[in-house]
């Protein structure tokens, strides 16, 4: 006679085992490319390039937090304060690394690219809001993916969902909700070109909120995943 507890355990485990990449791709009739997945991939790529640039600066004596502050100054046009910080940072890098330290030309070139990346990320988020996509959810998913490059965040996302279920949260309609988010690109608002420069105090304020939210989400996830 079969052990009832074993049968129950196997029955619960079966859906989890079946929830592999093939099952997810073919089962729910959700296209691989849709407004959410495209945004997540785009923002992930932009953030990865940003991190690579910052890592290069760190290797040359410019601390991560310093490059982040310099980028924020660039985004918000605080050029006088930025200039002072550039001078002190380059000087400190030279003292610590000599000729291998980051020089002024390299630092400014990196800052210009990181500023473009920050604006591109903010632009992607504005597009999502225009299409009534929850930006906070996209940010969370991007962080899960970036902190788990081995499987693209799949395990971390499953763990998160399992804890939500264990807490009794009513998320049984998640698949139906996902289908409503994966409509054809032609049926959503068109993707508009990113403006060359941020336009006004409202845009600057929104960008600051995005940056702060991204930092908060990253900190929380690091605490959860350690």
Cβ distance 116 to 109 under 8 Å?
Answer: no
As given in the structure block, the two tokens for residue 147 are: 């902190």
> Which pTM value belongs to this model?
0.69
Cβ distance 153 to 141 under 8 Å?
Answer: yes
Q: Is the dihedral of CA 53, 57, 59, 64 positive or negative?
A: negative
> What does the domain layout of the chain look like in residue ranges?
32-225
Distance CA(62)–CA(67), nearest Å, equals: 7
pLDDT in tens, the chain (226 residues): 444 444 333 433 333 333 444 444 434 577 778 889 999 999 999 999 999 999 999 999 999 999 999 999 999 999 999 999 999 999 999 999 999 999 999 999 999 999 999 999 999 999 999 988 999 999 999 999 999 989 999 999 999 999 999 999 998 888 888 888 876 543 344 444 555 544 444 555 555 555 555 555 454 444 444 4
Distance CA(22)–CA(29), nearest Å, equals: 12
Distance CA(91)–CA(85), nearest Å, equals: 10
């Amino acid at each position: 006679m079969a052990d009832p507890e074993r049968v129950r355990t196997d029955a619960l485990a079966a859906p989890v085992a079946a929830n592999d990449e093939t099952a997810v791709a073919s089962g729910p009739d959700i296209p691989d490319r849709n407004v959410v997945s495209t945004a997540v991939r785009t923002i992930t790529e932009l953030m990865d390039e940003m991190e690579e640039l910052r890592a290069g600066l760190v290797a040359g004596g410019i601390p991560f937090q310093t490059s982040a502050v310099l980028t924020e100054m660039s985004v918000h046009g605080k050029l006088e304060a930025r200039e002072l910080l550039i001078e002190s940072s380059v000087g400190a890098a030279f003292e610590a690394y000599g000729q291998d330290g980051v020089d002024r030309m390299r630092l400014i070139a990196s800052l210009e690219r990181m500023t473009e990346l920050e604006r591109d990320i903010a632009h992607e988020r504005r597009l999502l809001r225009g299409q009534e996509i929850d930006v906070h959810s996209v940010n969370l998913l991007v962080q899960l993916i970036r902190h788990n490059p081995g499987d693209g965040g799949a395990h971390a996302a499953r763990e998160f969902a399992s804890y939500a279920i264990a807490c009794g949260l009513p998320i049984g309609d998640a698949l139906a909700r996902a289908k409503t988010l994966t409509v054809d690109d032609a049926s959503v608002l068109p993707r508009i070109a990113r403006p060359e420069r941020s336009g006004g105090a409202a845009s600057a304020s929104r960008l600051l909120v995005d940056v702060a939210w991204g930092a908060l989400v990253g900190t929380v996830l690091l605490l959860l995943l350690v």
